[in-house]
Structure 1
Amino acid sequence: MYKQIGACKLKLIDRPSLFGLEVLTETVQDLRFVYVQLMDKAGRRIRAAFEGLQSLLNNSQRVDLQALDTLSPDDFAVTEVACHGFPYQPTCLAYDPVQKLMAIGTQSGAIRILGQPGVNVNLKHNNGASVLQLQFLVNGGAIISLCSDCCVHMWNIRLKRPEIVHSLKFNRERLITMHLPFQSKWLYLGTEKGNVHVASIETFTLSGYVINWNKAIDLSQKLHPGVIVHLSECPADDNKLLIGYECGTLVLWDLKERVTDSRYQCMNKLRSVSWHYGGRQFMCSLVNGSLMTWSLRKTQEPVEVVFPLANIECTSLNGQSSAGIASKAGLSPSEETTSSKAGCPVQCYRPIDRADWFSQKNGEQFIVFSGGTPFVESERPPCITVLRGKCLSVLEMEHPIVDFVSLVDSPYVNEEQDCSAIAVLLQNDLVAIDLKSEGCPCFENPYSMDIHDSPVTCCAYLSDCPIDLIRALYAVGSKQKRRGYTAKKWPLTGGVWGSSPSSDPELMITGHSDGSIKFWDFSSVNLQILYRLRTAKLFEILECHARSEFSFFSITHIALCPASRYLAVSSMAGHVILFKFSRQEDTGDVTVIDVPVFGNPLSTSQTDLLHFDVTSTSQNVHAPDEAESFAESKSASFHPLKVKEGPMKRSGGYVAEIICFNSWPSVSLPEAVTTIVLNSAYGLLAYGTDQGLVVIDILQKCIVLVMETSSLYSSDDVLIRSPKTNISSYEKNVMTFDLPENRQASEKSETSCNKSTGTTEMHSTIKPHPRAMSVKNQPVSNKSKPTCARDRGAKGLNNERESVDNLDVGIDEGVCSLEFIENVSKIGKCLLQLCVAYNFGFFCVCLDFINGPMLWVGTTYGSILALSVTLPEPEQRLCLPVTVNTTGFCLPKNCGFILSLSFLDYQCNLLLPPVKFFKELGHECGAAKNRVLRRANTLVGSSEKESFQKIDTGESAATARPAGKDSTVNEQYLIVCSERATRVISLSTMATLFNLKYDFPFVQACVVTFNAKPLVVGCFGNGRLTAYSVPSLRVLLDIPYLPQNLHSLETVRFGHQGAAVYMCSPTELLKFAFSSQFAMESKDILGSIYLPCVTPQPPKQNFFKELFNISSHTLDREELFGGVNRKPAKNVAPRQIQSSHGLDTTTRTNVAATSEIQRARMALSEREEKLSEVEDKTAILAESAKAYADHIQEIMSKQKNKKWYQL
């Protein structure tokens, strides 16, 4: 008989039988199974109920937090502020002599317009085609660019944000050069096939007037003349157009008659042509290094052929390299010689790329050209040559010359001019040379063209820097000003300044490959150098380890505490330097700390091959009774750098306080530093490496902790090193350092040890680990290490934990053995990871089992760890050690490596760690120092004490709240920005409130304040700029703005209130904003490039020329080029319609409307200017007529009463 119970059938026994025992057993088992099933169902229901309650609580918490989101997408709009630095890969140069503006074109399609100091505008072609040539409409408020994609663009620079108003694209021929005569409306375009086209700059349409190459050259010439390299009008007759072909053929074309007036043939290839102001001669520069002068009347042979540098000796032209020019030092002419007018010497010369020919008002000839130096075995630096009459001056340059322009005052080419300066565009610099001063010194460049003097390797950006710090940096940096400049002002004076974009001072810090650190004032649209710090002067490279391909001093990370002015940097060689700001010059020592190697030490054979005395640089960290271990540890420490011996003279500014040498794990592999964090209130410096974590006490100048990344996960397998103390509370699973008595005394008196040597070596000993004991509670000797390793290899996984408990850690110079690392990786089943993100924070109610400051660590594996920091009492801060312990707290793995960690209070305000101010550091002595430390440690009290946290709201607002028992007030949140996701976590429940995952990885991400609210902002690897609200992680901004270049994306730095910067090229720093309010105010920020001014009067003509009308001024170009019958062939050069790309419909409509309004305003302004010009000319004519009438009246009055014989 069976009965159904649940899912099982139970057999009921009516009477006893022989098999009753077996049936009873089966029944008991069935009942047990039913019981288990019922309990599982009940458990699942209970868990579901708890999860429902938890989700309900989280949902209510989410609703409460979403109410704090006040930002909307309307608050965001991306606007480019300014681009600073030297234009990357320049190609051409242009100059407006009336507006005093200069333009530089680049291979990437960018145009940089420079004016007076502060006027710096960057333009960019949409397609990124290389700019071949630039041409200003002199005093016309426009610039024409010729690009490599056969397009000609006209930019309207009357607008504060210049834009393209006309474009013309050639389909059948490739454009090479162009020429626009002064006050002409027709643009000449030379092509690769040798033809010349004419285009109207008013309508930007092509004329039907074409000069074909086969009609221009002689019929006897059988070969193609090549591309057109030069176009210009004759200064004396604008009806004559001079066309220069690459093969050396020059044609003077009669525009009106459409025939060749004369032809000239050079024996070598042509590079450039320059007219004499009289229009009767022109000078050619050729590839053989000669200057050839031709007369218009004499076409058979040149008037003169000169090799100007024929008599220059084959030694250095200046005695010193023209690094002087690149570094803005003064230049001096090296040779003065008479030009050789004889035939071509036997020696060969470099091409003369360009030559300018002027006639000064005193009648002296003035010629400036680039190139033409003799070919010698040793490479000669490029040079600019200035020829005044018979005096020749050669100016060497450090970089190749791209182009140069003569800075003259008049736009007219048919008058005598005094060239006072020249601007030389080099491959990596822009130089302006004063030709009127003795020695030809350089003008001091007001633009930040020297960002790339040494390649930029890292950068830091502070958008809310204290103004006192900027003033202090300027004060110490003003003493570093270089000399050798001319006393004259910068020759470019065009444009007008704009207002500052923000009231908050901004600071930019760049680290360079040579170990230098530059501080820049970024408060306005102009980037100004404040202070330069050189770290390489602190070290010496051992000769046996010097490698030219490795940059030992290249800066990799920068950490600045603006309140205390502490600066910490790391270099490629794996060392970390802590700097302290000092206003006065002094002489002092540097404390050197050798950090032990994390992994396997170097073998003895490897150390012998280095020929390197490790005793002089290794840290003496050893156990007193373990001489053998100490010997092995000394051989394990290796670093190729050495701090200079003796006291160092330190000038005002940043002076080195502590240098931490991280021992290299191998001879060829440095211990790379991955991140640095600095906290002045706690007096601690933490940095991560490829293998672990290091914490330094910057007050006691000693090591607090050296721990591998794998050891951070478990509190049982910890290798912590801290200064030794006799207090029983520190007798835990920690390693301690013995702090010598003389060291304590020296700290109290604030004097350095070993002043005779100039460095202070840390002598510490390691206390035996309490867990490194055998079964009999006796220390295990070093000889048993191989046996332990073999035993552990033979045991199973269940016995490995026991073997680790009884394992000798094998500490030699604070280094974990290889066996210990392997066991940790096996037991914990985790990879060795990089510590990439740190954050000091004081959160007394975040975790129930921890009170006090904590060090939060993020790794490349996606884990987040918390370490507790125990500080002594303020009175004993300099005597007792600081301990850092693992807490066992580990958040689960996130999506990708951790980019940043940020904390919020219960009102979702951004929490920042406490700081100690610079004014307080100046009183750190005796009782005053204890009072300062006591004030700093009030933030490290217990949960019953009040804690004050400075909250950055973007408006310098600070809020303070007591840490009471209210759970709502004590609630805090953690924002984790990782490579693939962003999470908002409640630290009270450890629940993820909001989670946002994205398909493309983040390259940079952080939390900033925007309109007094926190904001998650970052950039993806595909160049998209994004912003998310906090804490709900709503999308507020998502546009493709940044370049898809990983090197540029890694340099993006975000600031508060919507400011950001990044390196858009290896030589340029671009600042942009993602605030709509800033976009509306950007017009006043940028200033103006174009300023209306009166065009200079043309030169007065000679009386006889004016009398006989020798100069042709009757050419009607409108009829000649723009007649009805002058229509171009179809599809030769269609006009391009300009449109805005990358904008949404609304923005595009607004931009179009704004452009129309701007065009209307521009037309109105032009009309007013023309009317004013007409009025001025009318007044001038009236005055001339009146003067002429008065003169005639005077003559008549004199001749009236004279007789005929008196005449």
Structure 2
Amino acid sequence: LYTVEHGFPHQPSALGFSPSLQLLAIGTRSGAIKLYGAPGVEFMGLHEENAAVTQVHFLPHQVELVTLLDDNSLHMWTLRAHKGLSELLEIGRFTLTGPPGTVYLTPFLRITNKVDAPSPPFLFSLAPSCIPLLIVFLALTSSVPDDYIGRRNLEHVEALQENPVNPNQVVIGYGRGLMVIWDLETQRAVQNLIFLMVRMKSCMMYIILSCLALFLNFVHEADNELPLFFAGHFPCKAISKIVQLPTANGPPFLVFSGGMPRASYGDRHCISVIHSKTHVALDFTSRIIDFFVIRDGPHALVVLVEEELVVIDLQTEGWPVIQTPYLVPLHSSAITCSHHVSSIPLKLWERVIAAGELQLTHYSKKPWPITGGQNLAPDPPQRDLLLTGHEDGTVRFWDASGVCLYPMYKLSTAGVFHTDTDPNDNMNQGTEGEWPPFRKVGCFDPYSDDPRLGIQKIHLCKYSGYLIVAGTAGQILVLELNDEEAEQTVEAKVVDLLQGQEGFRWKGHTRLDVREEPVLFPPGFQPFALVQCQPPAVVTALTLHSEWKLVAFGTSHGFGLYDYQQKNNVFVKCTLNPSDQLAMEGPLSRVKSIKKSLRQSFRRIRRSRVSLRKHHVNNAAKLQEANARLEAELAEMELAPVQRKIEARSSDDSFTGLVRTLYFADTFLSDSSHNTPSLWAGTNGGSVFAYMLRLPPVEHRTDEPITAHPAKEIQLMHRAPVVGIVVLDGHGAPLPEPLEVAHDLSRSPDMQGSHHLLVVSEEQFKVFTLPKVSAKMKLKLTAIDGSRVRRVGVAWFGSSRSEDYGESGLVVLTNQGDVHVVSLPSVKMQVQYPCIRREDVSGIASCVFTKHGQGFYLISPSEFERFSLSTRCLVEPRCLVELPAHSASPTQHRPQPDGATSLINSNLERLTGLPVCQLSAPIVTADTPTSAIVQAENLSCVCHMAVFTKQSSPGMIFITSI
């Protein structure tokens, strides 16, 4: 059922990168681990433990990686080839156990970031001979200078790092500014470095130069002086990570996170990049998780922040951002609605891409730098678009044809209206002379200038290029695709949905003010007509018929029809019930008034008293009559599923006039011999309205008005909300989309046989004959399993064996999160799948179906889950990751001989005189001896494990190669 996840991982917590495999790994707080390579190369794994991933490390020159969770558990993963494709599998795990105060180092590879405990370390390296090397605590303390203020208490270990030139040397960084460079062979301190930043009142950063310096860089010559770099004259925030990168010709790059002046810029999330005289403070809108640099050149800086992934091109002047082909933050502004369009014509596709490319001029021209793996998925058979509406009034177009949800084009509707934002403002502009020199990067901007701009409904005609968007304040914009920029004025047509009814007063937000002056619109979709509903309530239903040039819209007060060719309103129908007082409160009020609640309570009490009095009248006679009727029914009853008793909803319920669905159809309304255009509307109170439309001839279309007349009205018995309307032709197939037949992409509907009307309510599916509108059949849902319909769509299910055969079906999502497929025209339940957790209300509300049996829903504010109900239309990652040709074969693990573990423990206890806690993993050896805290590219080691003693002080660390 599930195929792939699109978007940016929710709540990322760790970042990893493999230079040899060219793979990027992201861990999340929910325990997910996701790997990304070249576009289309994606892998996902999920830890069984509900714990956050704190670190991710790739094993050098291998297709394996290790994750560390915040519950002290370690997990090893591998990319194993199976039937020509790679899959991410967990192949081992263990947990570091110990009492409170026990210190654990990160067990694997490159960097041990922090140890938050007061224990000084003892470092061991277990070679294949199982002889440990010991860094004695007394030797460490004896090497500390006498004038060091924390000599008696070395504080906690902040970081450990190997010497990239000499792997036998390790640097240990303590909390009070002491760094000790320790030689593992001679077992002595090579040099001590004391940083007195805690004593200083200004922000200083000490840079220790070396050819391959990293965080906590190593000093090779004792007489080297430490140059100082002043980043300001005020106390600053901590520098959490620093990287220095050499260049082939010229000075090195220096990249570090943090270090901003605390008083002025303490709330900024910054990474500073310094190269020669160029200095830029990259300012992000969310907290920085981690970063790394692709070292070829260096080529690019990859930064993972809480809400997006940003890649900076370090080889192009100005250091521009590289456009990401995946991991794009869908929630750069909160998603408010979605719309999917299948099988986009090539001409429209190319025009949208061309308009989108004009918006990318400030991005780097360099290709995506992460290129690992091979994408073996076949080319998508069709071009699909996913349109998302956002809270800031933007509509984003996404290429949803394949595994990567690639951004194509962004439309903004805010320029049509007066808002608090100056259109000349540029978020990337910095103040001249400001220090540090900030530059805004990233596209995540969760703040909306005006919540009324939010997009609520979208409809795109892929044949004509017309786009309709509707917003929170009752605004409906009609746009057309233009390849050139144009300056024009958008006039608003105000439509009164109350039709002058008295006694109602709108208490919600006001409508948006339209700009009266001409507005310059860039190439792309440009608005040319605007409909403003009054009252300015949220638009709840929207549909477009581009062949007739008509737009239908609905709110909680009624619905209307607009002719965008003549820019004139055709008709308005008010569906407001006199008891719908809440419909006048606006979108922020969703609770009943105390007066109405008391009135309904007294009515229930009166009804119960009347029923009790009637119950005692002639009770015996009624009981005998009921028993006789029941026996007769039981004798004739066939075996049927148990049905629940569903109480009819009261007409006094709130929002009964809210329009839930609108539908255009060319069908039979007046008689069975003449078909006519029609508009159908379904409301929250179970009502269906049908209007007959009379269109003038094509030659008089621009002169003569369109007229509409009420034709039919249906009131469902249980007054359940109507969520879908479909008209079936003489063959029982749904009517084709507008202009679909004209483009020879669908056969003409059968107008010889009788048409049927399918009304989908929250509780059941009911079929009516046309034009008489008499009930023919129905399928109950709520009465059977208690669920209610939340989303419905018509899909085409093609056969996986025959290209020419397929069937239409109704795809239904219920409030329980189950997906049902209902056959057409027989209206019988075919299959049922559990899809979304029923507790995930936002996920159910965000679901959108495609025309070929697929669906999307939000699993988080930044991620879409894609699922498929069709075996023929399936989008999923199919990729292969192989070791580079120059890489060595994976190291073969060999178990230790019997008694090896006890031998190691006894040796450690003999050397330290302290009891050793149980090792948390089997003792294994590698082909090459390894050193403590080592992860060098020129070593063929696999990984290391660090184990501490049970003693919290002084404590020790055992480093084992596994």
Do Structure 1 and Structure 2 share a fold, with TM-score over 0.5?
A: yes
How big is the shift at 1:377? 3.7
Q: What are the within-5 Å matches in structure 2 for residues 207-218 of structure 1?
A: 218=141
Q: Is structure 2 residue 750 aligned with structure 1 residue 961?
A: yes
Alpha-carbon offset, residue 248 of structure 1: 4.9
1:1031-1052 CA distances to partner (integer Å, 9 max, x unpaired)? 3432513224558432233222
CA distance in 2, matches of 1:1047, 1:230: 42
Deviation at 1:404, TM superposition (A): 1.5
> Structure 1 residue 1039 and structure 2 residue 962: aligned?
no
**Aligned residue for 1:180?**
108
1:861 touches 1:893 (CA, 8 Å); kept in 2? no
- Alpha-carbon distance change, 128 to 1088 in structure 1, aligned in 2, over 3 angstroms: farther
Question: In the TM superposition, what whole-angstrom CA distance separates every residue of 1:551-572 from its partner, at most 9, and x where no partner exists?
Answer: 2321111111222222111112
> What is the CA-CA distance between 1:1022 and the residue it aligns to?
4.6
Match of 1:641 in 2: 512
C-alpha separation in 2, matches of 1:175 and 1:980 = 59
* Change beyond 3 A, Cα 1:1028–1:1091: farther
Q: Does structure 1 retain, via aligned residues, the 8 Å contact 2:173–2:180? A: yes
Q: In the aligned structure 1, how far is the partner of 2:368 from the partner of 2:497?
A: 54
Partner of 1:979: 762
Do the aligned residues in 2 keep the contact of 1:565 with 1:918 (CA within 8 Å)?
A: no
State the alpha-carbon separation in 2 of the partners of residues 1023 and 243 from structure 1: 53
Residue aligning to 2:438? none
The 5 A counterparts of 1:452-601 are 452-483=331-362, 485=364, 487-500=365-378, 502-541=380-419, 550-596=450-496, 598=498
> Does residue 231 of structure 1 match 2:160?
yes
CA distance 1:262–1:1049, change in 2 (3 Å) = farther
Equivalent-residue separation in structure 1 for 2:193 and 2:839 (angstroms): 51
Which residue does the alignment assign to 1:1052? 847
Question: Residue 591 of structure 1 contacts residue 701 of structure 1 at CA under 8 Å; is this kept in 2?
Answer: no
CA pair 637-397 structure 1, distance change in 2 beyond 3 A: closer
Question: Which residue identity lines up with residue 262 of structure 2 in the other structure?
Answer: F
Q: 1:1012-1043 CA distances to partner (integer Å, 9 max, x unpaired)? A: 22233233445444434443432513224558
Looking at structure 2, the residues matched to 1051 and 477 of structure 1 have their Cα atoms a distance apart, in angstroms, of 25
Deviation at 1:505, TM superposition (A): 1.2
Amino acid at match of 2:240: D
Query: In the alignment, residue 869 of structure 1 is paired with which amino acid?
Result: L
- The 2-side partners of 1:446 and 1:830 are apart by 46
Paired residue type of 1:536: A
- Paired residues of 1:190 and 1:197 also in contact (CA < 8 A): no
Q: Which gives a bigger RCO, structure 1 or 2 (Cα 8 Å, sep 6+)?
A: 2
Report the alpha carbon displacement of residue 397 of structure 1 after superposing the two structures with TM: 1.6
Alpha-carbon RMSD: 4.8
Matches within 5 A, 1:942-961: 956-961=745-750
Counterpart in 2 of 1:808? none
Amino acid at match of 1:860: N
Q: SS at the partner of 1:1056?
A: coil
Aligned to 2:885: 1093
Note closer, same or farther for the CA distance 1:246–1:189 as it changes in structure 2 (3 Å cut). Answer: closer
Whole-angstrom CA distance in 1 between matches of 2:483 and 2:246:
54
1:106 Cα offset (Å):
2.8
Q: Structure 1 residue 296: deviation in Å?
A: 8.1
1:80 aligns with 2:3: yes
Q: Among 766, 778, 791, which residue is 1:1004 paired with? A: 791
1:149-189 Cα shifts (integer Å, max 9, x gaps): 3322222234534232222233436887625347xxx9999
Counterparts of 2:305 and 2:810, CA distance in 1: 41
Alignment-mate amino acid for residue 371 of structure 1: G
Alignment check: 8 A CA contact 1:500 1:525 kept: no
Give per-residue Cα distances to partners, 1:691-724, cap 9 Å, x unaligned. Answer: 11111122322111122114899xxxxxxxxxxx
From 257, 262, 282, the counterpart of 1:370:
257
The 3 A distance-change label for structure 1 pair 541 and 599 is farther
Give yes or no for contact 2:467–2:479 (8 Å, CA) kept in 1.
yes
Give the aligned partner of residue 141 of structure 1: 63
- Tell me the equivalent position of 1:789: none
1:167 corresponds in structure 2 to 93
Take 2:166 and 2:62, find their aligned partners in 1: how far apart are those partners?
23
SS of alignment partner, residue 552 of structure 1 = helix
SS in structure 1 of the partner of residue 33 of structure 2 = strand
**What secondary structure, in the 3-state scheme, does the structure 1 residue paired with 2:106 have?**
strand
Q: 1-side partners of 2:239 and 2:742: how far apart?
A: 58
1:236-255 per-position Cα deviation (integer Å, ceiling 9, x unaligned) = 55455444455555566676
1:1018–1:244 Cα change, 3 Å: farther
Q: 1:157 corresponds to which residue?
A: 79
SS in 2 for 1:564: coil
Matched, 1:1075 2:954: no
The answer on whether the counterparts of 2:119 and 2:155 sit within 8 Å (CA) in structure 1 is yes
2:553 is equivalent to residue 687 of structure 1: yes
The answer to whether residue 573 in structure 2 is matched with residue 707 in structure 1 is: yes
Per-residue Cα deviation, 1:869-922 (whole angstroms, up to 9, x for no partner): 233444544333323333342141457423222233354322235438999xxx
Separation of aligned partners in 1, 2:787 and 2:186? 65
Distance 1:267 1:827, change over 3 A: closer
Query: Relative to 1, partners in 2 of residues 1:419 and 1:663: Cα closer, same or farther, differing over 3 Å?
Result: same
**Paired letter, 1:398:** F
**Structure 2 SS opposite 1:477:** helix
Give how far 1:576 is off.
Answer: 0.7
Q: Take 2:167 and 2:695, find their aligned partners in 1: how far apart are those partners?
A: 85
Change in Cα spacing, 1:687 to 1:431, as seen in structure 2 (3 Å) is: same
Distance 1:435-1:1038 versus aligned 2 partners, 3 A rule: closer
Cross-structure match for 2:903: 1125
Q: Measured at CA, do residues 169 and 187 of structure 1 come closer, stay the same or move farther in structure 2, by a change above 3 Å?
A: farther
Aligned mates of 2:781, 2:314 — CA distance in 1: 63
Pair 1:676–1:1077, CA change in 2 (3 A): closer
Write the letter of the residue equivalent to 1:151. S
TM-score normalized with structure 1 length: 0.57
Listed as ranges, the matches of 1:860-879 within 5 Å are 860-879=684-703
| Residue 395 (str. 1) matches residue 266 (str. 2) | no
| 1:1014 match | 808
Q: Which has the higher helix share?
A: 1
Equivalent in 655, 664, 681 of residue 857 of structure 1: 681
| Contact 1:217/1:263 (<8 A) preserved | no
Superposition deviation, residue 208 in structure 1: 12
Aligned residue pairs total: 785
Change beyond 3 A, Cα 1:957–1:356: same
User: 1:188 & 1:654 partners in 2: Cα distance?
Assistant: 49
Please state whether the residue corresponding to 1:478 is helix, strand or coil. helix
**What code does the residue aligned with 2:453 have?**
F
Could you tell me how far apart the structure 2 residues matched to 1:124 and 1:199 are? Answer: 32
Amino acid at match of 1:704: V
> Do the aligned residues in 2 keep the contact of 1:230 with 1:273 (CA within 8 Å)?
no
Q: Do the aligned residues in 2 keep the contact of 1:276 with 1:358 (CA within 8 Å)? A: no
Code of the residue aligned with 1:1092 in structure 2: it is: P
Structure-2 separation of matches of 1:652 and 1:194: 63
Corresponding position: 1:672 with 2:538: yes
Deviation at 1:352, TM superposition (A): 0.7
d(CA) in 2 for partners of 1:175 and 1:272?
29
Deviation at 1:990, TM superposition (A): 0.8
| CA-CA distance at 1:687 after TM superposition | 0.8
Larger Rg: 1
Q: 1:561 to 1:690 in 2, by over 3 A?
A: same
- The correspondence of residues 431-442 of structure 1 with structure 2, limited to 5 A, is 431-442=310-321
CA gap of 1:113–1:198, structure 2 versus 1, over 3 A, is farther
Give, in whole Å, the separation in 2 of the partners of 1:595 and 1:439: 50
Match for residue 663 of structure 1 among 511, 534, 537: 534
Shift of the 563–436 alpha-carbon distance from structure 1 to 2, 3 Å rule, reads closer
> Which aligned pairs between 1:511-910 and structure 2 lie closer than 5 A?
511-541=389-419, 550-596=450-496, 598=498, 640-664=511-535, 670-710=536-576, 832-844=656-668, 851-894=675-718, 896-910=720-734
